[in-house]
A and B are shown apart, each in its own frame.
Chain A
Amino acid sequence: GDSVTQKQGQVTLSEDDFLFINCTYSTTTYPTLFWYVQYPGQGPQLLLKVTTANNKGISRGFEATYDKGTTSFHLQKASVQESDSAVYFCALPASSSFSKLVFGQGTSLSVVP
């Protein structure tokens, strides 16, 4: 079945550090891929999404590239700020039902000043 794997459960960085969050996926189709961000006390919200047509998504300084060869969709940001502290989820639509999103385990990012 479809699956998404985020190996890093927790990441701690200092302000202005480079961010890299690993995400790999397994599916039988070439779906749109998503990154969602969840700030404390809130529901998740879309950070960016990428289709096979455009390959790379950029939003609020974050970027992710759709790599079908390595089945990866890693999230990067050149310089993090304390306000980026949140939980980040990689996700894809299930092959069996496009209305259902399959999420990775989430990566909790803490940025210290």
Chain B
Amino acid sequence: VTLLEQNPRWRLVPRGQAVNLRCILKNSQYPWMSWYQQDLQKQLQWLFTLRSPGDKEVKSLPGADYLATRVTDTELRLQVANMSQGRTLYCTCSGTGGGGNTLYFGEGSRLIVV
């Protein structure tokens, strides 16, 4: 059973252009939604956790700038700008509460800089 639906699954991104990613939660049992990035060396790094509709956060990391928005209880968005190296962005969901919760990953949105 798929818990998360991400789109696009991949995108060619001209250098300097921003791209918008979308993630839909299919199971309300796991309401905490997050974004993780995976770089070309496979390193996974947490970006954001957005728990409530209306939550919005920005972050700048080496190689990209991010703006994340929790649109509704089931929709999470991510704008990626100023990307200089390719990466894959994963949407995740988990239950509320302590750190023992399993993190469930979407299939990822792979971004390739051209």
Query: Which residues of A are at the interface with B, using a C-beta cutoff of 8 A?
Result: 31-32, 34, 36, 38, 42-46, 49, 51, 87, 89, 92-94, 97-103, 105-106, 108
Contacts and interface: CB of A to CB of B under 8 A. Distances in A.
B102 A49 contact: yes
B34 A99 contact: yes
Contacts of B102: 34, 46, 49
Nearest to B88: A43
Interface in B13-67: 32, 34, 41-46, 49, 51
A89 B44 contact: yes
Contact of A103 (B32, B43, B49): B43
A60 to B, nearest CB: 15
7 contacts: A31-B99, A45-B104, A49-B102, A93-B98, A98-B97, A98-B101, A108-B42
A43 B88 CA distance: 10
Q: Main SS of the interface on chain B?
A: loop
Given A43-B106, A46-B102, A100 B34 contact: yes
A54 to B, nearest CB: 11
Interface string B100-112: 1111111110000
Contacts of A43: 90, 105-108
Contact of B44 (A32, A45, A103): A103
Contacts of A93: 98-100
Contact of A100 (B49, B106, B108): B49
B100 A49 contact: yes
Nearest to B49: A99
Most buried by B among A31, A45, A51, A103: A103
Contacts of A94: 46, 99
Contacts of B45: 103
Nearest to A42: B107
Top 4 A-B pairs, shortest CB-CB distance: A93-B99, A43-B105, A98-B99, A32-B100
Nearest to B42: A106
Nearest to A98: B99
